[in-house]
Amino acid sequence: MTVRTRFAPSPTGYLHIGGARTALYCWLEARHRGGEFILRIEDTDRERSTDAAVQAILDGMNWLGLSHDEGPYYQTLRMDRYQAVADELLKAGKAYYAYESKEEIETMRAAAMAKGEKPRYDGRARDQNLPYRNDPNRVLRFKNPTSGSVVFDDKVKGRIEWSNAELDDLVLIRSDGFPTYNFAVVVDDIDMGITDVIRGDDHVNNTPRQVNIYHALGAAVPSFAHLPMILGPDGQKLSKRHGAVSVMQYRDDGFLPHALLNYLVRLGWSHGDQEIFSVAQMIELFDVADVNKAASRFDLEKLSWLNQQYLKNDDPREVAAHFEWHLRAQGIDPRTGPDPADVVVALRDRARTLKEMAEKAKVWYEPLREYDEAAVAKHLKTATAKPALEAARAQFDALSEWKVEAIHAAIEAAAAAIGEGMGKVAQPLRVALTGTQVSPSIDQTVYLAGRDEALRRIDAAIARA
RNA sequence: GCUCCCUUCGUCUAGCGGCCCAGGACACCGCCCUCUCAAGGCGGGAACACGAGUUCGAACCUCGUAGGGAGCGCCA
């Protein structure tokens, strides 16, 4: 039987970090085992579901490259099917109508609590075989087994046993005719042939009741894997207060999609001491059974480090495509300056994100307007600054080709000409070219400016020296 | 309240009874390299929640305790 996994978000907001990791693990498990990955939108909560959220989830998955093989399926389009299965259960005597009001149920719960038990429905209509009637309180409830226990082997949590005495007769069909979550997932997972249910561990508590429904329907129970949560840096539940929660926010903040993927795959899973995984390696090595049991915290520092690793090791041309996106996002036209791929090479050791890179790259795409006063005082107002700049200018002007190596040699020649070390030429030049004391290596800094602009900036600096 | 789950350096983790007075990575500190800043190299500090068992031997097995989390809806 071919493996089929699914990611089933409810469209009530953007794709967040936790959801993205769940989707990644489902996707990897399917790819690793040569199976299929299905996307299903659980939109039965009509109050909170929006089309915008559906689009946001699709966008997030698309950016991460988590392609689905089937779907998206929408639960709201499957209402007839849930009703049909419910009727089946009713006919088989495995479900029944109940008509208690919210107040009555509330009273039952309070009574159970008072006895030191869980708040739940007491099953009073269970054996009454009440007929269908048009009543605003009408719900269809599941006849949960009253004795014995439910057992399932969770691929990450291990064997979990649950006494049926702890479970009550859950609602299958609400009074508004919509199925409840626990019923709809089971019907969907059966219909869609899902073999491996991989989801957040906030669902472990639902699993025993779902297993009972599988049994009542005579369907094969899939294997389950419940993933631990991702916590914020402070160990608290991830929320908007912790900054970026939406996956797309990470794109805006300058992260590469596969850096995020790499970070996410290592959060709760590992393969020996390996830290860097290409997507192909993830697919080859991932096994959901190796996922850790405990929750983990999100650490932006490590994500940033990983991002820089990819910035440094990926093909500059590929990084440049993402880099240009960020240049534009910051209002810079890439055509007004050097080749973005060259800029990537110059800045990838100095920036952890593409956003940071784009900010640092502005000097080459916009005219130099300001000088840092401290930089001017320290490196331009010296006895050697002017001769150094003049010597460098002469060398640059005479260069037959404008290349980093040639520029490097020219600067060395200029230093030799005035009898000083590299530093005495490099620093004034750096201030001349960027207005600051910090930039990539001086030859690259000069190169990226282009000869005409470099000479212009040097002339302006000489005038100030 | 009840049920279920979890617990190795600050963080992510390796470890699946002897290879561990616990390894790697991020972060941090120091040194080296150096035209600035980085990157890189080398080195350093830093953890098995606690208590009982089982065993010749426990981070690994069992049971408690403590702490944390999830759920107990006609929400998903």
The structure tokens listed for A94 are 């495995």
pLDDT digits (tens, 9 = 90+) for A353-365: 999 999 999 999 9
Q: Write phi, then psi, for A96 (nearest 5 degrees).
A: -150, 160
pLDDT band at A171 (very low <50, low <70, confident <90, very high): very high
pLDDT over threshold 70, residue A28: yes
Does residue A52 have a pLDDT over 90?
A: yes
CA A421 → C1' B32, Å? 21
Query: Which of strand B's nucleotides are less than 7 A from any protein C-beta?
Result: 1-8, 10-15, 23-27, 34-40, 68-76
Segment A278-291 mean pLDDT:
97
With contact defined as beta carbons under 8 Å apart, do A325 and A338 qualify?
no
Give the mean model confidence (pLDDT) for residues A189-214. 96
Q: Which residues contact A177 (CB under 8 A, 6 or more apart)?
A: A79, A83
Do strands A223-227 and A36-41 pair parallel, antiparallel, or not at all (unpaired)?
unpaired
**What pLDDT, in 10s, does the model give residues A215-249?**
999 999 999 999 999 999 888 887 665 555 899 99
Please say if A355 is a catalytic residue.
no
Tell me, in Å, how far CA of A7 is from C1' of B65? 39
Between CA A250 and CA A260, with CA A254 as vertex, the angle to 5 degrees is 50
The pLDDT, as a whole number, for residue A434 is 97
Residue showing tokens 């300056």:
A337
Identify the CA nearest to A253 among candidates A353, A362, A360, A357: A353
Q: Nearest residue to B72, CA vs C1'?
A: A118
Chain-centre distance of CA A341, in angstroms?
26
Active-site choice (A237, A240, A293, A302): A240
Query: Could you tell me the pLDDT band of residue A316, with boundaries at 50, 70 and 90?
Result: very high
Strands A296-297 and A223-227, sheet pairing: unpaired
Fill in the amino acid letter for A370: E
Pairing of strands A36-41, A4-7: parallel
- What pLDDT, on the 0 to 100 scale, is given for residue A240? 60
Q: How far is the CA of A82 from the C1' of B18 (A)?
A: 57
Q: What is the pTM for the complete model shown? A: 0.94
Largest CA distance in chain A: 104
Give A373-427 pLDDT, tens digit per residue. Answer: 999 999 998 999 999 999 999 999 999 999 999 999 999 999 999 999 999 999 9
Contact A277, A271 (CB under 8 A): yes
The one-character DSSP state at A205 is G
The CA dihedral of A242, A243, A248, A251, to the nearest 10 degrees, is -120
Question: Which nucleotide is closest to A171, CA to C1'?
Answer: B74
Q: Which residues contact A20 (CB under 8 A, 6 or more apart)?
A: A60, A61, A64, A66, A247, A260, A264
Residue A370, judged by CB atoms within 10 A of its CB (0-12, 13-18, 19+), counts as exposed
Q: Provide the H-helix boundaries in A152-243.
A: 181-191, 207-217
Rounded Cα gap, residues A457 and A463, in angstroms: 10
Model pLDDT, residue A239: 66
Q: Write the CB contacts of A87 (distance below 8 Å, at least 6 apart in sequence).
A: none
Single-letter amino acid code for the residue at A329: A
A319: helix, strand or coil: helix
- Residue A239 (CA) to nucleotide B32 (C1'), in angstroms, measures 43
Cα–Cα distance for residue pair A167/A312, rounded to 1 Å: 54
Question: What is the rounded average pLDDT for all residues in chain A?
Answer: 94
* C-beta neighbour count of A189 within 10 angstroms: 23
